Chains A and B, each alone.
Chain A
Amino acid sequence: MSTKKTILILSISLILISCEGFLDVRPQSELTQEAFPTSASDALQATNAVYSTLRSWHYHSGGFPVLDVMSDDGLKGSNPDDGSTSMAPFEDFSFAATQTGLDRWWNALYEGIRRANIVIEKVPEIEMDETLKTRYIAEARFLRGIYYFDLVRAFGGVPLVTTINPDLKLERSTAEEIYTLLEADLQFAIDNLPLKSEYSVDQLGRGTKGAAQALKARVHLFKGEFDEVETLSLAVINSNEYDLEDVFIDANGVNGEHGVESVFEIGAIASGSPEGNQYANTQGVRGTPNRGWGFNRPSMDLRATFETDDPRFEDTIIELGEVLDGITILGDGSTPDETRDEGGNLIEIESYNQKVWYPGTNTTTQWGHNRRLVRFADVLLMAAEALNENDQPVQALVYLNRVRERARQGDGSILPDIAETDKDLLRDIILHERRVELALEGHRFWDLVRTGRAPEVLGPLGFIEGKHEFFPIPQSEIDLSQGSLEQNDMW
């Protein structure tokens, strides 16, 4: 009987074990949200995370350089059939609301906004150095401003989110409401962020007063508010924090990373996703050397638009046979070297975007390219454009010619100084200068839209006036909203 008793005792003792403690199993290796951020170190990490979104592949217009491909500067690229669903629809404006990539872009931008909102909402409660605290919040608002600007420019009015846990159903706010928020964010950043020179060299890449001014200038430029553009861009120029690189290629290249021309750039390390940025890999040389997928091919139209012997031509386009950093570019076996139309006209030459070239040995090294979101040449050209619009063409020429002077590299026979002071003619010249100086950097499409030239320039490619100024709200978001999100006109 003793064995039976043992069983009985065991069973009874088991029943007496406290159940609730046994059923409490916490997440392993992960904090839960109520416990974060609660310290100065947490605040810094939460702020850093807002930057992290800038390196996500999705952030860069959903992963593909669609903005250049939608302009007259870039062709789809890669081999003729690669990206037939992901990229080709942007080339001829045949994409619809169901287009893949739009959802990724939308989600990445709101992910960045949420990360910013965490800092803006939670960091004020933390006991820590007040100066740093203010800076962190200003950094978060700076980045939130960037993310909202990308949203409103691409999609128009979007749901306005300023809290960590917004309602599930939100309607679209008006574009004006979004602009009001993002301009306030950028203004707060201008008022509270340090100058670039006030950061130690190992902290470059954080938001600065100059970067916030330049980005706010870009916002006003897009809206055609030239007084503000003038004020802000001149403030950046006159801060003496920035200058042009001596050599044009360094403006985007590895030697100019966080250099004097860099107003705001996305730091990246040549490794995989945790530290790298696939932006340049997407556009990298396809084939030999194998540096990427080869999207965003310089168009014939872009080739033709450079002035005679403009050295920037060579530094913008990687041609087959060219030698870069000791490596001969042989290109891709599945891509024709030249493509002609039925009439025998050359319509595409295998070539690649040199602005994203990064020295190295393999595809992952391309991930080390620091994408320049704002560089000083852009600020100079914004100033020039604003001054011209504000009827100060002579001052405008100063900044325009400063860009051309660097481009000509001391060769007096090319790229003469511009002396045109007729407002309309100068407007065209400045826009053209923007096109060649900033080619394949994602500006051209918006420049055409904001100046109203898109229907004329892009119409032959498929652009429809009144429709393609905005992207459609991703169909998946319309579906998820169960009727609270309305689609853009004509989509």
Chain B
Amino acid sequence: MKYIQTIKPLPGKAILKALGVALLSIVFVSFFSVASQAQTQVSGTVYDAETMETLPGVNIVIKGTSRGTSTNVDGYFTLRLNEGENILVFSFLGFQTKEVDVTGQSEITVELETVVGTLDELVVIGYGAVRKRDVTGSIGRVSSEDLGKVTSLNAEQSLQGKVSGVQITTTSGAPGASAAVRIRGVGTFNNSSPIYVVDGVIIDDISFLNPGDIESMEVLKDASATAIYGSRGANGVVLVQTRSGSGIGDRPQIFVSSESGIQQLEKKIDLLNGRQFAIIANEIRSGSYNNVDAVPDTDWQDEVFRTALIQNHQISVSGASERGDYYISLGYFQQEGIIESSEYERISLKLNNTYKISKDFKVGNNITVSPYTQRIAPNATFAVYRAQPVLEPFYDDGSYGVVFNVGNPLASIDFSNNYNRGVRAVGNVYAEGIIANTLLLKTSFGIDGAINRAENFTPAFTIFNPDGTASQQNNDFSDIFKGETYNYTWLWENTANYIQDFGKHSVNAVAGLTMQQTRSEIIRLSGENVIRDGEDFWYVLPSYIVDEANNINQLNSIFNGVDAGQYYNMISFLGRVVYSYDDKYTTTITMRRDGSSKFAEENRWGYFPSFALGWNIDREKFMEEVSFISNLKLRASWGIIGNEKITYYDRFSRVNSGLLAVFGSPDASYIAATYGKSGNEDLKWETTTQTDIGLEMTVFEGRLSAELDYYNRETDDILVELSTPGHLGNGQGQRIRYNAASVVNRGIEFSMGWEDNIGEVGYEIDVVGNTIHNEVLAIGGNSGIDSVLFGGALANGQLVTQSRVGLPIGAFYGYVTDGIFQNQAELDAYPHLSQADVGDLRFVDTNGDGRINGDDRTYIGSPTPDLVFGANFSLNFRNWDMSFDFQGQYGNEIFNGKNVVRPDPYNFEQHVWNRWTGEGTSNSEPRPSYGGYNFLPSDRFIQDGSYIRLRSLILGYSLPTSLLERLDIDRARFYIKATNLLTWAKYTGYTPEIGSGNVLSNGIDTGIYPIPRVISIGFNTTF
């Protein structure tokens, strides 16, 4: 009776192991060969001559060779020299190249002078880079160091609590689940996710990327920074730079890292035990249980949740020479779910190269290929929460016991074989040439291709009632489902960058033309009565799509179409000029013109301008005497950005030709077609107008840095799907898209860092945070119908959010409760719904019309936090390092939706034990019932969503230099790490982090897969 399915091993797993062994043996071979040569060694530290700060990433080449290295984060380097090699060449962007004779020295100090006129490092912005001093936009940065701080599949998890203005919410703890990323609040009713630009390729998500392959992530927030992405940038832009070959020299750098850990449920929900449940059940319906002391007591949470493994390994090789550089990486990530039958496995291959064809011309590629396997368990969280503790998981004979109404979750998990397997390939090839040292021409052709194969097999099974009859949990015939989704995008970008200084004037400009085509196709097949249950038979044969009992074709067993969100073309023209005068004043002017196939010809083109000013106050004469301030900048920007994340056919009124009518004797079906819902030809771009004022400063010789921004984002003409009156005949639940809403988000963002040391203990404190005021300014407009958008559908169809003018998006609404009807006199004295009785909740007549009805439902909470924050502390002492990263939010509410949907007798949360049992016994917990009146959506189900979480705690130890030298290893660090170790929250669910991809359903806990706590150990080494 029991079907145990294990994950289909990826063939790649074996390849990985083989490769790993091979690479390791290469490492050891080279280790011995290098060690046997006669050499001297020189090491040293490189400083900025002006500030005396250490300089990381400085290139060092042994003159006359192509060998060399680069400085580490502390500006430190070590290099082996063969006999006769005496001169080192130090070079670094923005500094004068310097040659140093090291004859007879083993430890040196090098100071590099800045190049006049090109002060500052370059900051990557869209389609180019500018000097940091010239940045006028609001940009947050996360380095590769922070990316490794949490154990997770996706790099966006690392942004949480690190960049002000960014809110990351995990939508599920299931392996492979994505996170909801929101930059500066929710400004639209549509997809609110930012876009990602991975090495220049614009894509929607980065789940395919191994975080270990990422060099840095930059979050572009204000209009000045994002306007160059025009219609794509309204929700913010995350620029992702993957690693490239580094160091100059013929010695490759080999990086190996490995991490393994265990995951556990962070906490359990406090539910009634068997005896308590039986007592309550008897109160609801007397005689349900004759002896409440003799009922079983099953803790379904213990039955279902397990300790699961997680592991992440990577090996990469990189190097650089005068002819080019390379970065080759292989990563393996595997995560079991804390619910059995769920798992995620990903292999990532990364290949980044540049080839210098001539002094002024180079070509390159950035390629990622990621095969993955995801196994999805049925949503057992809900079943665990609902299953009655008086039922046992197994009968005495070992077969699954019946669990009324929800099904036995162990059986559901056991019989589930639900997989997604696929490959995602993202990459680009590019060529760039420099003309006259000032003009850089670049053409890049990028692709994003994905194939996903879904496979779901359920064997025939029956769970029996104790009396031997079949329960509702059964499957008459085995079912097989196969789905294949194909997505393919190409993006061709052509840009010209011009950089020139004229005395005190400096110009940095870019112009470009890009084209994009996105295509998709979906094929789905399903059938039943598979000839055998084994995995070898999970294919859909023609005979399976025939219902043999009735000898008819199952017409919905085949589907073929496109993914409506992934089928469009775009053309864009872009331009930007950054002009600065005397390094004091900078202005940035940006314009993008986008054309999208999603809109009708008249509304097809959108113009997205932005304008920004920056003032480097510290460069002014009057600041010369203020020595403790090393950097002080004021900047302001304004701009308009667009959004077009809608399906490609929203504007078309389409014909629904998939219908059938049944006539005749015997019954036979005939094809039928009619109008589907109406489209809206007048659709146009949604626009976000954003204003930003920011202040940046660095004081006390770089120890304290701070940044403060005020932002105001107003989104208008929001593309929103509105319900239409039934009399239009579009059918139940059909909505039509209009440009018909406005939303504002405004707030303050701050980040502050302090870096210093006390004796040998170095420490760093970073605090980031932002406030969000989110408010709907208009809905409906002149074209729409709804003045209120309802959302947040619970499993029973009840809608518990409304978005209306003056309230936040997706605000919770329902009845306001005011205690409990203690006696008949109270019940008679107050207006109440006809279902209400003594012992039930008293709903407030909010509109004062003397009766209770749907109109009395009102605002009862907001899913949007007032404050999102992170606080990160790190310490280092000799070879030890330690960091604590906290993160949290304040001021939001959670709707405990799983507690509301109760069509059947389910178990209860512990608070029900304190129920009303007679006058004066309780004024908050009503008399028990399995559902109905007291479970109407009300503020009874609203809970405080504020929390602080110890997101990551890391203790690391780096091997001392003396030992490393003997082993010929550049760096080796071992660590122990805890992710989601502790959470302080009032919320009673598994986690206060309740995200949703749908902005109208945010903050509703409908029984999400718990986000586990991870304890892991790992090491990383560089050879």
A-side residues, CB < 8 A to B, are: 3-4, 7-8, 10-11, 14-15, 17, 19-20, 22-37, 42, 45-46, 48-52, 55, 58, 79-86, 88-89, 94, 96-98, 100, 103-104, 106-108, 110-115, 117-118, 158-159, 161, 164-166, 168-170, 201-206, 257-258, 266-275, 286-288, 290, 330-334, 360-365, 368, 370, 474-477, 479-482
Minimal beta-carbon separation of B669 from chain A (angstroms)? 5
Given contacts A28-B562, A267-B667, 5 further A-B contacts (CB under 8 A): A7-B433, A24-B597, A48-B660, A272-B556, A274-B659
Check A11–B787 contact: CB distance below 8 A: no
Across the interface, do B664 and A203 meet the contact criterion of CB distance under 8 Å? yes
Task: Write the B356-370 contact mask toward A (1 if CB under 8 angstroms, else 0).
Answer: 011011000000000
Complex-state Cα separation, A113 to B433, whole angstroms: 65
Whether the Cβ atoms of A159 and B661 lie closer than 8 Å is: no
Bound CA–CA A343/B405 (angstroms): 29
Once the chains are docked, how many angstroms separate the CA of A103 from the CA of B466? 39
Instruction: Report B839 CB to chain A, min CB distance, Å.
Output: 17
Given contacts A30-B657, A203-B664, A269-B662, contact A159 B595 (CB under 8 A): no
B671 to A: closest C-beta gap in Å:
6
> Do residues B441 and A110 form an inter-chain contact, with CB atoms below 8 A?
no
Residue from the list A17, A29, A364, A480 in contact with B725, Cβ < 8 A: A480
CB atoms of B561 and A3 under 8 A apart: no
Contacts of B569 in A (CB 8 A): 22-23, 25
Question: Most chain-A CB neighbours within 10 Å: which of B554, B854, B932?
Answer: B854
- Determine if A257 and B441 form an interchain contact, defined as CB atoms under 8 angstroms apart: no
- Kindly identify which residue among A86, A89, A111, A271 contacts B729, using a CB–CB cutoff of 8 Å: A111
Q: 1/0 contact trace for B674-691 toward A, CB 8 Å? A: 111011000000000000
A102–chain B nearest beta-carbon distance, Å: 10
**Residues in B629-686 with C-beta less than 8 Å from chain A:** 648-649, 652-676, 678-679
- What is the chain B residue whose CB lies nearest that of A361? B549
Q: Which of A34, A205, A480 contacts B663 (CB 8 A)?
A: A205
Contacts of B833 in A (CB 8 A): 94, 96
A49 in contact with B674 (CB, 8 Å): yes
- Whether, in the assembled complex, B555 has its beta carbon less than 8 Å from a beta carbon of chain A, the answer is yes
**Quick one: which of B474, B729, B798 contacts A110, CB cutoff 8 A?**
B729
Give Cα A288 to B550, complex, Å: 20
The distance in angstroms between the C-alpha atoms of A398 and B44, with both chains bound, is: 116
Q: Using known A-B contacts A96-B833, A361-B549, determine if residue A4 contacts B725 with beta carbons closer than 8 Å.
A: no
CA of A51 to CA of B560, assembled, Å: 25
> Known: A49-B674, A114-B675. Contact between A269 and B667, CB under 8 A?
yes
Chain B residues near A45 (CB, 8 Å)? 657, 671-674
- Separation of A321 and B4 alpha carbons in the complex (Å): 37
Check B729–A113 contact: CB distance below 8 A.
Answer: yes
Cα–Cα, bound, A480→B786 (Å): 6
A85 near B796: Cβ-Cβ < 8 Å? yes
CA gap between A80 and B929 in the complex, in Å: 12
Q: A272–B554 contact, CB under 8 A?
A: yes
Cβ-based interface call for B825 (8 A): no
Interface pairs A-B: 4 shortest CB-CB: A114-B729, A48-B672, A49-B674, A267-B662
A3 to B472, CA, bound (A): 71
Given the complex, which residues of A lie within 8 Å of B596, measured CB to CB? 23
Task: Output the residue of A82, A274, A481 with the most chain B CB within 10 A.
Answer: A274
The answer to whether the Cβ of B289 comes within 8 Å of any Cβ in the partner chain is no
Give chain A nearest CB distance to B471 CB in angstroms.
6
Report the minimum CB–CB distance from A285 to chain B (whole Å): 12
How many angstroms between the C-alpha atoms of A14 and B726 in the bound complex?
48
- The reply on B499 being an interface residue by CB < 8 A is no
Complex alpha-carbon distance, A166 and B973, angstroms: 71
Min CB–CB distance B819 → chain A (angstroms): 22
Residue from A19, A33, A360 in contact with B549 in the complex, judged by beta carbons closer than 8 Å = A360
Query: How far apart are the CA atoms of A266 and B654 in the complex, in Å?
Result: 27
Residues of A within 8 A of B664 (CB): 201-205, 258, 267
CB contacts (< 8 Å) of B671 on chain A: these are 45, 48
State A396–B360 Cα separation when bound (angstroms).
Answer: 104
> Are B513 and A14 within 8 A (Cβ)?
yes
Nearest residue in B to A200 (C-beta to C-beta)?
B664
Given the contacts A3-B361, A268-B662, A287-B469, A11 and B441 also touching, CB distance less than 8 Å = yes
Chain B residues, CB < 8 A from A287? 465, 469-472
Contact among A58, A118, A481 for B732, CB-based, below 8 A: A58
Task: Verify if B853 is at the interface (C-beta below 8 Å from A).
Answer: yes
Contact A164 B675 (CB under 8 A): yes
- The reply to whether A25 and B648 contact each other, CB–CB distance below 8 Å, is yes
Measured CA separation A20–B723 after assembly (Å): 32
Contact A361 B663 (CB under 8 A): no
**Contact A29 B560, CB 8 Å, known A45-B657, A94-B835, A362-B476:** yes
Q: Provided the pairs A205-B664, A475-B854 are in contact, do residues A360 and B285 lie with their beta carbons within 8 angstroms?
A: no
Q: Which residues of B contact A (CB under 8 A)?
A: 285, 357-358, 360-361, 402, 404-405, 431, 433, 435, 441-443, 465-467, 469-472, 474, 476-477, 492, 494, 496, 513, 515, 547, 549-550, 552, 554-556, 560-562, 567-571, 595-598, 601, 604, 648-649, 652-676, 678-679, 723-733, 780, 785-788, 790, 796-798, 833-835, 853-854, 902-905, 930-932
Cβ contact within 8 Å between B665 and A333: no
B663–A88 contact, CB under 8 A?
A: no
A43 to chain B, nearest CB (A): 10
Determine how close the nearest CB of chain A comes to the CB of B495; give it in whole angstroms: 9
A363 CA to B648 CA, complexed, in Å: 38
Interfacial chain B residues near A36, Cβ < 8 Å? 655, 673, 675
Give the interface centre of A7, A268, A360 by most chain B CB atoms within 10 Å: A7
Could you tell me if A257 and B723 are in contact, using CB atoms closer than 8 angstroms? Answer: no
B434 to chain A: closest residue by CB: A4
Contact yes or no, A3 B725, CB < 8 A: no
State whether B556 touches A274 (Cβ < 8 A): yes
**Contact among B472, B492, B513, B780 with A290 in the assembled complex (CB-CB below 8 Å):** B472
- Complex: chain A residue closest to B512, CB-CB: A11
| Distance from A251 Cβ to chain B, minimum over Cβ atoms (Å) | 15
CA distance A82 to B515 in the complex (A): 55
Closest approach, in angstroms, between the C-beta of B288 and any C-beta of chain A? 10
Pair B549/A365 contact, Cβ less than 8 Å? yes
Q: Is the CB of B659 within 8 A of A48?
A: yes
Shortest B387–chain A CB gap in Å is 14
| CB closest chain-A residue, reference B547 | A271
B441 & A52 in contact (Cβ 8 Å cutoff): no
Cα-based distance from A83 to B555 in the complex (angstroms): 30
Q: Are B787 and A3 in contact, with the CB atoms below 8 A?
A: no
Tell me whether A482 and B787 are in contact (CB under 8 A): yes
Q: How many Å lie between the Cα of A108 and that of B663 in the bound state?
A: 20
Q: Which residue in B360, B441, B550, B667 is a CB contact (below 8 Å) of A360? A: B550
Q: Which residues of A contact B787 (CB under 8 A)?
A: 482
Nearest opposing residue in chain B for A160, CB measure: B727
Looking at B604, B672, B729, B732, the one whose CB has the most chain A CB atoms below 10 A away is B729
Q: Least Cβ distance of A119 to chain B in Å?
A: 9
B653 near A96: Cβ-Cβ < 8 Å: no
Given the contacts A111-B731, A267-B662, A272-B556, A482 and B785 also touching, CB distance less than 8 Å: yes
Q: How far is the CA of A117 from the CA of B853 in the complex (A)?
A: 35
Given contacts A36-B673, A55-B662, A110-B728, contact A3 B433 (CB under 8 A): yes
Q: Which residue on chain A has the smallest CB distance to residue B854? A: A98
A50 and B670 alpha carbons, distance in the complex (Å):
12
Q: Which residue of A lies closest to B475 (CB)?
A: A362
Q: Are B494 and A257 in contact (CB under 8 A)?
A: no
CB distance from A14 to the nearest CB of B (A): 6
Q: Provide the bound-state CA to CA distance between A70 and B435, in Å.
A: 84
CA distance A205 to B732 in the complex (A): 25
Query: Contact check: which of A88, A110, A273 meets B727 at CB < 8 Å?
Result: A110
Cβ–Cβ contact B729 & A161, under 8 A = yes
Contacts of A331 in B (CB 8 A): 469
Cross-chain contact A85 with B932 (CB below 8 angstroms): yes
In the complex, which residues of chain A have a beta carbon less than 8 angstroms from the beta carbon of B467?
Answer: 333
Q: Which residue of B lies closest to A147 (CB)?
A: B729
CB pairs A–B below 8 angstroms (28 shown): A7-B441, A14-B513, A17-B515, A20-B601, A23-B571, A25-B648, A31-B654, A32-B655, A42-B673, A81-B930, A84-B932, A85-B796, A86-B903, A114-B730, A161-B727, A166-B727, A170-B725, A203-B663, A267-B661, A268-B667, A272-B554, A274-B658, A361-B549, A362-B476, A475-B854, A477-B726, A480-B786, A482-B785
